[in-house]
Structures are given as structure tokens and as C-alpha cells.
Amino acid sequence: MLQPRAHGAEGRPVNVPISFEFFPPNTPVGDDKLKDVVRQLGAFAPEFFSVTYGAGGSTREKTLRTVQAIADAGYEAAPHLSCVGSTKDGLREILATYRAQNIRRIVALRGDMPSGTATAGDFRFAAELVRFIRETQGADWHI
């Protein structure tokens, strides 16, 4: 099996964890291709596969479906969560959904508002998002 390598301070090789990022597919053909690619990239033993999340949650259902497909294939999935457009109530709902699917890894991002739109949501910075997750969900999440 291929494994990424780097050299530590003493010149000895060390394993470097890797991950791969996906955009949620838009079509059933894309869903099938994703499953094939996940299986192929699994040969590199990634720590996780992350899945993007559209501004303001525009790809929420697609992200969830993609995360579930990755988890069903036996790999750890890490959905992105963005501050943009996220409310505390909405985030609680999303996190409860992920918890029910046994997803415990999140990529927390500030995110960028689409051009010409005003900032909306309860979080301005990713640190606020992380703090909210820790305070409301506990420490059993990898963020």
C-alpha cells in the first residue's frame, strides 16, 4: 500500500496523514463515480474524506448524502460546516443529523459570502463555530 512519507528532524521517514476533499455530486452518474473514486483513493489509507458545503448551506442535502455514501463504504467522512448563513438552531439540527449517522469529524470554516450579499448567520469566525460545537455537543468531535 502506498503511504505518503516525510522526513522528521532526524532525517528518519515519518508517516504523514492525508485526506481527500470532494464536492457533492449533482447527478446519479456523479454519485456512482464518487463511489468508484472513494474506493480507488482508499488504497492510500486516508485519515478521512472531507465533503464541501455550499455557502449558506446550499448543498446541505447533497453534502449529507455524500458523507453517508463515504461512511457506508467504510471510510471516515468529514463534512464541511461554514459560518456563512449558519444559525445556532440550524447547526444543532445538522450536528444531530451527523451524530445519528455516527459522523464525528467536522471541517469548520468561516466561508466566504457570495459576491454582493451581506453576512448572515450567528457566527463570524470559525473559532466561534468550533466553540459552539464544543459547548453544545461535547468533546467527542474531531474538528
> Quick check: is 135 catalytic?
no
Given 21, 47, 93, 128, which residue is catalytic? 21
Q: What is the 3-state secondary structure (H, E, C) of the chain?
A: CCCCEEECCCCCEEECCCEEEECCCCCHHHHHHHHHHHHHHHHHCCCEEEECCCHHHCCHHHHHHHHHHHHHCCCCEEEEEECCCCCHHHHHHHHHHHHHCCCCECEEECCCCCCCCCCCCCCCCHHHHHHHHHHHHCCCCEC
Catalytic residues: 21
